[in-house]
């Protein structure tokens, strides 16, 4: 394509290109890759988190719901093709959960529009009928954000799969929300460009989901999260209005609603178009793998690198259980006797890379690394990353179930948090494997458990909650990139004061006065928080 030329024809790069995303469903059969996906994990009605949403599965005998469904179906079918409105149990079943598959709920209906106008009409109808709406991309979210409601519409954006425009001079791409993250970089590659935020799920997850979760990835340490790489978003409000936030420029007039919207977890509007920044593919990249006999030393080395003024393209850490699992799975050549490894990638011009790699090597050796390897070519660099990228499914192979946590801490607190997490792991009798974006302080403790053992899921949830609250205690946050959803709703009460939560509710009400968009997610009610704060075990831990 000539410089400055745009794609004349929009290109289809969406969920349909990928079999996992194509399923549109719970990513069935991927239990180990996704966490606790065992059917036995269905929680009983009234269980803690499920009490936030509809407590039962869809009830086809409930006259009120049946009447709502019938009315909706007839209004929707008046302008949507038959395959865009799914209502039978077997049709809606694949949408009953997202990547947090411990929690399941059949939606009242699934609607799959193809155009912005159709989304507007669907939302107007739901608004008029007071029907809740949950938007969904590929369903890879790990915090239950796309968990449906039994009394609501599940609005899938899976058919919005076109790259509308790719401008190599402005270095931007305008894409529909169902386009997969990786597909953007694939389309930009012929121009020497790529889209930087790279969640490990990038083969399947959609840009609409990335915007909703403010997703991150290995490269976000240097290049920023989704919020730093999106220029504009078109969204449809629950009342059916189409609005545009942001601009192609570096600044936009008015309140910065784009930053507010990114990370709002489908609670403020439905994204129907996204303009992203593209970056030049770096001239060279080299990776360094360092082994440690002590997890805390590895944690300290992370701080040393950043304190030296080096911002690596990626700086990731894995502890012993994660190293062993990844090595058994992909045979990346990891030192399996190490207590922890760091993988550090440096990118830039050839000279920059050579200089920084030397500096990082010296820092790693000075911090007590027992072994430091530098990739000799791209194949070896990719091999260093292979185990890290496959770490979640790899851990899934060594445990019947696992629960992936996501919290962020100041880098200086890494050694302390790793030590205290290990203590709690012993206290609860549950193994914890750590795989995480160490440079960002974004922890991903994976709690290994067996849902078939009575009480083990409950203990896992409690341990997970305590780890997140530890993150808050050391000055961090309860989420780094996976969002709050239903999973971390209690910990929002620890992170924020009642006054702060009141402002969140006010923002929500400004966009969604009836509270119909993804209700029960993200922001807890004041009542829930006051009950949670009064729990005896909780009181002495955090006074906030
Ligand atoms: C194996 C694995 C690895 C992962 N690794 C990472 C990682 O490295 N970094 C990371 O950040 N995340 C990671 N995730 C989590 C997940 O992939 C991301 O949160 C992703 O952004 C979700 O995208 P999705 O299209 O699947 O969204 P979904 O799961 O379908 O939805 C997520 C949320 O977005 C909302 N939403 C979706 N589309 C829209 C829309 N068009 N408009 C409004 N709201 C919408 C939903 O309501 C929901 O609240 C991982 C998940 C898995 C399973």
DSSP-derived secondary structure for 220-252: HHHH--HHHHEEEEEEE-TTS-EEEEE-SSS--
Place of tokens 């999973």: 487
Token pair for 286: 């080299």
Element (H, E) at 44: none
Distance from residue 398's CA to the centre of ligand 1 (Å): 25
Task: Please state the atom number of ligand 1 nearest to the C-alpha of residue 521.
Answer: 49
The model carries a pTM of: 0.88
Looking at the domain assignment, is residue 487 inside a domain?
A: no
- Check whether residue 323 and residue 442 sit in a common domain: yes
Element (H, E) at 503: helix 498-511
Q: Is 480 in the pocket of ligand 1 (CB under 6 A)?
A: no
Residue 28 predicted with pLDDT over 80? no
What is the domain count for the chain?
4
- In angstroms, rounded to a whole number, what is the distance separating the alpha carbons of residues 299 and 411? 8
Q: Is 206 in the pocket of ligand 1 (CB under 6 A)?
A: yes
- Check whether residue 62 and residue 176 sit in a common domain: no
Q: Is 147 in the pocket of ligand 1 (CB under 6 A)?
A: no
Looking at the domain assignment, is residue 478 inside a domain?
A: no
Considering only CA atoms, which residue is closest to atom 50 of ligand 1? 201
- In angstroms, rounded to a whole number, what is the distance separating the alpha carbons of residues 541 and 524? 19
- Check whether residue 436 and residue 321 sit in a common domain: yes
pLDDT digits (tens, 9 = 90+) for 356-408: 999 999 999 999 999 999 999 999 999 999 999 888 889 988 999 898 889 99
Distance from residue 246's CA to the centre of ligand 1 (Å): 21
Where a domain ends, among 103, 125, 156? 156
C-alpha dihedral, 109 to 115 to 116 to 117, nearest 10°: -80
Pocket probe for ligand 1: among 114, 141, 442, 443, the residue whose CB has the most ligand atoms within 8 Å is 141
* CATH number, residue 233: 3.30.465.10
Distance from residue 205's CA to the centre of ligand 1 (Å): 6
C-beta separation of 395 from 435 below 8 A: yes
* CATH number, residue 125: 3.30.43.10
Pocket probe for ligand 1: among 213, 322, 389, 394, the residue whose CB has the most ligand atoms within 8 Å is 213
- Check whether residue 316 and residue 366 sit in a common domain: yes
Average pLDDT over residues 184-211: 97
- Check whether residue 241 and residue 368 sit in a common domain: no
What's the gap between Cα 481 and its chain centre? 5
Task: Please state the atom number of ligand 1 nearest to the C-alpha of residue 226.
Answer: 11
Where a domain ends, among 101, 128, 156? 156
Range of the domain at 535: 498-539
Residue 110 CB contacts under 8 Å (≥ 6 apart), including other chains = 85, 86, 87, 91, 92, 95, 153, 154, 156
Q: Is 33 in the pocket of ligand 1 (CB under 6 A)?
A: yes
Strands 172-175 and 270-277: antiparallel
C-beta separation of 144 from 220 below 8 A: no
Looking at the domain assignment, is residue 315 inside a domain?
A: yes
pLDDT (0 to 100) of residue 132: 98
- Check whether residue 117 and residue 40 sit in a common domain: yes
- Check whether residue 118 and residue 184 sit in a common domain: no
Residues in the chain: 544
- Check whether residue 267 and residue 290 sit in a common domain: no
Where a domain ends, among 124, 156, 188? 156
Q: Is 145 in the pocket of ligand 1 (CB under 6 A)?
A: yes
- Better pLDDT: 61 or 224: 224
Q: What is the pLDDT of the chain when averaged over all its residues?
A: 87
- In angstroms, rounded to a whole number, what is the distance separating the alpha carbons of residues 122 and 128? 10
Q: Is 32 in the pocket of ligand 1 (CB under 6 A)?
A: no
- Check whether residue 186 and residue 234 sit in a common domain: yes
- Check whether residue 236 and residue 318 sit in a common domain: no
How far is CA 432 from each of CA 412, 447, 461, rounded to the nearest angstrom?
A: 21, 5, 13
Phi first, then psi, for residue 231 (nearest 5°) are: -95, -35
- Check whether residue 303 and residue 450 sit in a common domain: yes
* CATH number, residue 437: 3.40.462.10
* Helices and strands, number each (H, E), in the chain: 21, 21
Average pLDDT over residues 10-15: 53
Average pLDDT over residues 300-329: 94
Q: Is 177 in the pocket of ligand 1 (CB under 6 A)?
A: yes
pLDDT (0 to 100) of residue 102: 82
């Amino acid at each position: 394509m000539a410089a400055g030329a745009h794609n004349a024809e929009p290109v289809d790069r969406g969920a349909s290109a990928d079999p996992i995303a194509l399923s549109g469903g719970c990513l069935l059969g991927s239990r180990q890759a996704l966490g606790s996906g065992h059917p036995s994990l269905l929680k009983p009605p009234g269980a803690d988190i499920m009490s936030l949403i509809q407590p039962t599965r869809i009830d086809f005998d409930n006259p009120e719901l049946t009447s709502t469904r019938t009315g909706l179906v007839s209004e929707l079918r008046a302008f949507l093709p038959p395959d865009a409105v799914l209502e039978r149990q077997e049709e809606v079943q694949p949408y009953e959960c997202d990547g947090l598959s411990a929690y399941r709920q059949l939606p009242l209906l699934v609607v799959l529009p193809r155009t912005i106008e159709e989304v507007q009409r669907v939302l107007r109808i739901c608004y008029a009928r007071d029907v809740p709406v949950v938007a969904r991309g590929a369903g890879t979210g790990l915090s239950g954000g796309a968990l449906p409601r039994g009394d609501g519409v599940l609005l899938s954006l899976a058919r919005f799969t076109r790259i509308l425009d790719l401008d190599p001079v402005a270095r931007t791409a305008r894409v529909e929300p169902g386009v997969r993250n990786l597909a953007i970089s694939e389309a930009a590659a012929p121009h020497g460009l790529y889209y930087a935020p790279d969640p490990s799920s990038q083969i399947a997850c959609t840009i609409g989901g990335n915007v909703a979760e403010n997703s991150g990835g290995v490269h976000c340490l240097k290049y920023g999260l989704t919020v730093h790489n999106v220029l504009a978003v078109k969204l449809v409000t629950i009342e059916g209005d189409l609005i545009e936030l942001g601009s192609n420029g570096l600044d936009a007039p008015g309140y910065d609603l784009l930053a507010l919207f990114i990370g709002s977890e489908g609670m403020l509007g439905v994204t129907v178009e996204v303009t992203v920044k593209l970056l030049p593919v770096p001239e060279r990249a080299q990776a360094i793998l360092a082994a440690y006999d002590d997890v805390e030393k590895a944690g300290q080395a992370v701080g040393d690198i950043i304190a030296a003024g080096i911002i690596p393209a990626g700086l990731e850490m894995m502890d012993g259980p994660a190293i062993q699992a990844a090595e058994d799975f992909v045979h990346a050549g990891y030192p399996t006797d190490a207590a922890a490894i760091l993988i550090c990638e440096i990118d830039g011009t050839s000279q920059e890379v050579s200089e920084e790699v030397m500096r990082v090597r010296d820092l790693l050796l000075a911090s007590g690394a027992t072994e430091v390897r530098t990739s000799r070519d791209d194949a070896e660099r990719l091999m260093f990353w292979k185990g890290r990228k496959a770490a979640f499914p790899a851990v899934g192979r060594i445990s019947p179930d696992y629960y992936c946590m996501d919290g962020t801490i100041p880098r200086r607190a890494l050694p302390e948090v790793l030590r205290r997490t290990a203590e709690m792991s012993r206290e609860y009798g549950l193994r914890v494997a750590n795989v995480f974006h160490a440079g960002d302080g974004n922890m991903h403790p994976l709690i290994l458990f067996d849902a078939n053992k009575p009480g083990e899921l409950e203990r896992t949830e409690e341990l997970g909650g305590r780890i997140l609250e530890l993150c808050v205690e050391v000055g961090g946050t309860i989420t780094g990139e996976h969002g709050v959803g239903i999973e971390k709703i209690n910990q929002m009460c620890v992170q924020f004061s009642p006054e702060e939560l009141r402002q969140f509710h006010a923002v929500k009400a400004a966009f969604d006065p009836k509270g119909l968009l993804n209700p029960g997610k993200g922001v807890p009610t004041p009542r829930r928080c006051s009950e949670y704060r009064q729990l005896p075990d909780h009181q002495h831990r955090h006074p906030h």
